[in-house]
Amino acid sequence: MGALDDLAKKAQGFVEENKDQIQEALKSEKAEEVSDTVLDAVAGKIDAVSGGRHADAIGKARDGIDAKIGTEGTTTP
């Protein structure tokens, strides 16, 4: 596990050193477009697998994640 711990520490260090740039990238217009596409697809698949029984919860989870990525939180269509 030593190598895994070293890798985790390096990743954490990278994130700390570049947190402003990472936040900027997460709040970009492109991140919004990509995240909307991915989140809509994932939410749609989960909804289909659950037979629509959890559509409200799935939509709320999707919107909660979306609000943290990109330039705006959108509502589920």
Is the residue at 36 inside a domain? yes
For residue 23, being part of any structural domain is answered with yes
Angle between helices 2-17 and 19-26 (to 10 degrees): 70
- In which band, very low, low, confident or very high, does the pLDDT at 77 lie, cut at 50, 70 and 90? very low
Structural domain contains residue 55 = yes
**In-domain check, residue 59:** yes
Asked if residue 76 has pLDDT above 60, the reply is no
The residue range of the domain holding 40 is 2-68
Q: Which long-range contacts (CB under 8 A, 24 or more apart) does 42-47 make?
A: 43/76
Count of the separate structural domains present in the chain: 1
Question: Residue 73 falls within a domain, yes or no?
Answer: no
Inside any domain, residue 77: no
Nearest to 40 by CA among 69, 2, 14, 16: 69
Unique residue bearing structure tokens 């990109």: 70
Enumerate residues 6+ apart whose C-beta is below 8 A from 28. 70, 71
pTM of the model: 0.58
